Amino acid sequence: MRRDLHGDGGRSHPPRLRAPAHRVSPRAIAHWAIEYLLLWGLGFGLSLGVSAWLGDTEAEWLPGWLSDRVGVLPWAVGAAGLLMVTVAPVWRYRVHRWEVSADVVYTRTGWFSREWLLVPVSRIQTVDTEQGWIERLLGLATIEINTASHTGSSEVSGLPAGVATRLADDLAHRAHDLRDDAT
Amino acid sequence: MTPPGIPDEAKTPRVSDSPDVPKSSAAGETGVRRLHPLTFVVGAVRELIALLAAGATGLAVGGLSTAFYFTLVGLGIGLVFHVASWATFTYALRDDRIELRRTLIGRSVKTIPRDRIRGVDVSTSLPHRTLGLAVVHIDAGSEGGEAALNAVSRREAERLRRVLLDRAADEPEGDAAPPRRVLARMRRRWYVYAPLSGAYLLTPFALAGSLLGTLYNLGDDLGLITRERVETVGHEVVGLPAAAVVALAVLALFALPVMSVIAFSLFNWDFTVEERNGSIVAERGLATRRSVSLERRRLRGVELADNPLERLGGVLRLGALVTGLGDAAHRGRLLPAAPRPVAEELAARVVGAVPGPLRPHPRAARGRRVVRAVAPPGAVGLLAVAAGRPWIAAACAVLALLAVPLGLDRYRQLGHVTDGERLSVRSGSLKRRQVVVEHGAIVGWRFRRTLFQRRLGLATLDVAVGAGDGGYPAIDMSEQDAVAFAAEITPDWVRPFLEK
């Protein structure tokens, strides 16, 4: 069982994880962009309201330097939102990858911070596919792979719906066959 | 009514062995049973005591006032309620499941498959013990939820515990008494460790607070507390000479550790960890005696926790990582406070030797720990400066300075190691935690890298485990070490994804 990687002879460079084989669907960019647009649009609206309200009431509990600049708030939120909507989806598309080998599901997610997740098929408890309304419009689906641990549960979003369904069926089947009682 | 204090041991076994129940209970008998008939007495005892106290006070103060009649009516309703809930509740132990049935107006049946049961927890409060009763909690992990039998005779509780947890050992069981082996037992002088843990220092306050609250409410209901009286008390306190107040405060300060020892002993009296056919059983408590059974094959690791004070005293708290155990922080407790060698020996007996020594994490992690410790007070301090609150800013500056050694210690505590069968990771300073996990319990690996970690060549490796918190991080390992560590433990999972 136990093997020491450093004493392995032929391996001279330290081990690194390679990227998983498959990208998600390019339509996922549109999905994330719409999501961010809705979220940050809401944030922008709220901040407009807050700054208008603070401007009217002349809140005395705020320090002077802050209440003078409260008009900047919606523009700051708007700029951040614009950046998120344009940059983050593309960035995420470049990071998000997945692969299912013989007995391990390997995913890479995130953008600013990244996560690599290895879940062996034998430890999978349930496999779900989900489609939100945006995903349904775009023909995408999210597949959720659950183990007994929240930390060890993975989620691949932005898969084409057909691929997701097939993958979920396949995984559920193999998980059933391979399942051992580690949990 | 039966006041607590009258021993009822003689009557109990006869009542519990009601005629419809076969005396020798095989694992698969199908008798439908009720809870113990004395249950409603216990159920009502709490209300009785409160109500009687209120009634007696009412009698003494205002004669047979309305309050007293209300007390009587409340008492009657309480009794009727408890009798009704006793009469409508039955449970049955089937071959493959246990059924809990309540039939009042609607009907509810709760079924727990026996192979889903992960733990059986028997507790006896003082009134329960005087009547020879015990409450049985059945824990069935996430799928089945929980069930409570409140209350059955203690013999029935022991039988249920044995039968429900014993499906693996059904065959050999029956002839000889189940083997019992004491793995660890609390020593007298360990109770003195209580003040170190901090948590028990606060218990007296909580107890005093709830006691005062109850007294106040009770007095208020009966009209004992008036504005004048409260004011009089207030004036008396203010009127005390300063020396007396200081003396009182000092007294309280000295009383705190003593109180914490008392509270600790109350909860953890005679803490005993035993092995009984396939289960680890932890018993504890003085007034309420609680015993928790943990199925051995679901026990996949241990957690060794301490704080800086306990570290100085060489004391540890030991907990178990059990798959699918709810309320693990309380139920999984294996030792509340014990010298390190004892705790490590018990850990070795329960899951195997604690691997060591831990491998330290790279120097790059040190700066990150310090920055993360200093950042919160620093940020608040900067905000305070911007808002023109110098006092808050000064306090934050002091905190930020104190956070530097804290961050350094957090770095020193980081570590990971594997001995080929179990891995161990450690982190934290104020609440340091070292976790030992069997390799077989790992359900996945998660590598996390923020932008800053990527620049420093660091990665946090989360060990996903289907027990305890679900995941334990090895914070800020070097990137290669993290991958090599996972690959060493589960080569089949990691190797296919390594760069060639």
Q: Answer with the residue of higher pLDDT: B234 or A155.
A: A155
CB of B266 closer than 8 Å to CB of B276: no
Residues 6+ apart with CB under 8 A from B147: B98, B100, B110, B112, B137, B138, B140
Which residues, in sequence order, are bridge partners of residue B355? Answer: none
Chain B residues whose beta carbon lies within 8 Å of the beta carbon of residue A149: 443-444, 464-466, 470-471
pLDDT, tens digit (0-9, with 9 covering 90-100), for B297-347: 888 899 999 999 899 989 999 999 988 766 666 778 899 889 999 999 999
CB pairs under 8 A between A and B: 136
Q: Which residue has the tokens 């391996």?
A: A11
Residue A101, Cβ density class (10 Å: 0-12 exposed, 13-18 middle, ≥19 buried): middle
Chain A residues whose beta carbon lies within 8 Å of the beta carbon of residue B437: none
Say whether residue A69 is in contact with chain B using an 8 A CB cutoff: no
Q: Answer with the residue of higher pLDDT: B55 or B33.
A: B33
Phi, psi (degrees; rounded to nearest 5) at B60: -65, -35
Residue of A nearest to B299 (CA): A183
Percent of chain B scoring above 70 in pLDDT: 79
Q: Please choose, from the candidates B379, B372, B375, the residue with its C-alpha nearest in 3D space to the C-alpha of residue B409.
A: B372
Residue A114, min C-alpha distance to chain B (Å): 5
Residue B477, min C-alpha distance to chain A (Å): 13
Which of A149, A153, A181 best tests the B interface by mutation, with the highest count of B CBs <10 A?
Answer: A149
Model pLDDT, residue A3: 42
CB of B337 closer than 8 Å to CB of B197: yes
Q: Could you tell me where the beta strands, DSSP code E, fall in A24-175?
A: 97-100, 104-110, 114-120, 126-130, 140-146, 154-160
Residue A7, min C-alpha distance to chain B (Å): 11
At residue B272 the predicted structure's pLDDT band, cuts being 50, 70 and 90, is: very high
Q: Could you tell me where the beta strands, DSSP code E, fall in B63-193?
A: 89-93, 97-103, 107-113, 119-124, 133-139, 146-153, 180-185
Average pLDDT over residues A169-175: 86
Which of B116, B446, B498, B499 best tests the A interface by mutation, with the highest count of A CBs <10 A?
Answer: B446
Please give the Cα distance from B282 to B317 (Å, whole number).
14
Chain B residues whose beta carbon lies within 8 Å of the beta carbon of residue A151: 444, 446, 462-465, 470-471
Q: Please choose, from the candidates B282, B280, B281, the residue with its C-alpha nearest in 3D space to the C-alpha of residue B296.
A: B280
Please give the Cα distance from B122 to B126 (Å, whole number).
13
The pLDDT mean for chain B works out to 80
Model pLDDT, residue B311: 92
Other beta carbons less than 10 A from residue B326's beta carbon:
17
CB of A97 closer than 8 Å to CB of A22: yes
Model pLDDT, residue A9: 41
Please give the Cα distance from B461 to B471 (Å, whole number).
10
Average pLDDT over residues B231-248: 74
Model pLDDT, residue A53: 82
Interface of A with B in 140-159 (CB under 8 A): 147-154
- pLDDT reading at B8 higher than 80: no
Residue of B nearest to A150 (CA): B470
ω into residue B347 within 30 of 0, thus cis?
Answer: no
Tokens of A164: 């997701």
H helices within B316-445, ranges in order? 328-331, 340-350, 364-387, 390-413
Side by side, the strands of the sheet bearing B289-295 are: B146-153, B133-139, B119-124, B289-295, B279-284, B272-276, B180-185
Q: Select the residue of B447, B466, B480 nearest A183 (Cβ to Cβ).
A: B466
Q: Which residue has the tokens 């390594």?
A: B498
The pLDDT mean for chain A works out to 84
Decide if B492 and A103 are in contact by the 8 Å CB cutoff.
yes
Please give the Cα distance from B323 to B467 (Å, whole number).
4
Q: Answer with the residue of higher pLDDT: B173 or B209.
A: B209
Average pLDDT over residues A148-168: 88
Say whether residue A10 is in contact with chain B using an 8 A CB cutoff: no
Q: Select the residue of B450, B465, B494 nearest A149 (Cβ to Cβ).
A: B465
Average pLDDT over residues A110-117: 91
Which residues, in sequence order, are bridge partners of residue A159? Answer: A141
pLDDT, tens digit (0-9, with 9 covering 90-100), for A20-72: 999 999 999 999 999 999 999 999 999 998 888 877 776 666 666 666 777 78
At residue B28 the predicted structure's pLDDT band, cuts being 50, 70 and 90, is: very low
Q: Answer with the residue of higher pLDDT: B397 or B218.
A: B397
Tokens of A66: 């802050």
Tokens of A24: 């998600």
Q: Interface pTM (ipTM) of the complex?
A: 0.86
Model pLDDT, residue B37: 80
- pLDDT reading at A6 higher than 80: no
Model pLDDT, residue B150: 81
User: pTM of this prediction?
Assistant: 0.74
pLDDT, tens digit (0-9, with 9 covering 90-100), for B136-193: 888 776 555 678 888 888 888 888 888 887 654 444 444 445 567 888 898 888 888 8
Model pLDDT, residue B42: 73
- pLDDT reading at B448 higher than 70: yes
pLDDT, tens digit (0-9, with 9 covering 90-100), for A64-78: 666 677 778 888 999
CB of A95 closer than 8 Å to CB of A114: yes
Chain B: residues touching A (Cβ < 8 Å)? 323-324, 386-388, 420, 440-451, 454, 462-467, 470-471, 479-480, 483-484, 486-488, 490-494, 496-500
Chain A residues whose beta carbon lies within 8 Å of the beta carbon of residue B445: 116-118, 152
- pLDDT reading at B401 higher than 70: yes
Please give the Cα distance from B317 to B325 (Å, whole number).
19
- pLDDT reading at B89 higher than 50: yes
Say whether residue A15 is in contact with chain B using an 8 A CB cutoff: yes
At residue B364 the predicted structure's pLDDT band, cuts being 50, 70 and 90, is: very high
Q: Could you tell me where the beta strands, DSSP code E, fall in B254-354?
A: 272-276, 279-284, 289-295, 299-306, 315-322, 333-339
Radius of gyration of chain B (CA): 28
Other beta carbons less than 10 A from residue B294's beta carbon:
26
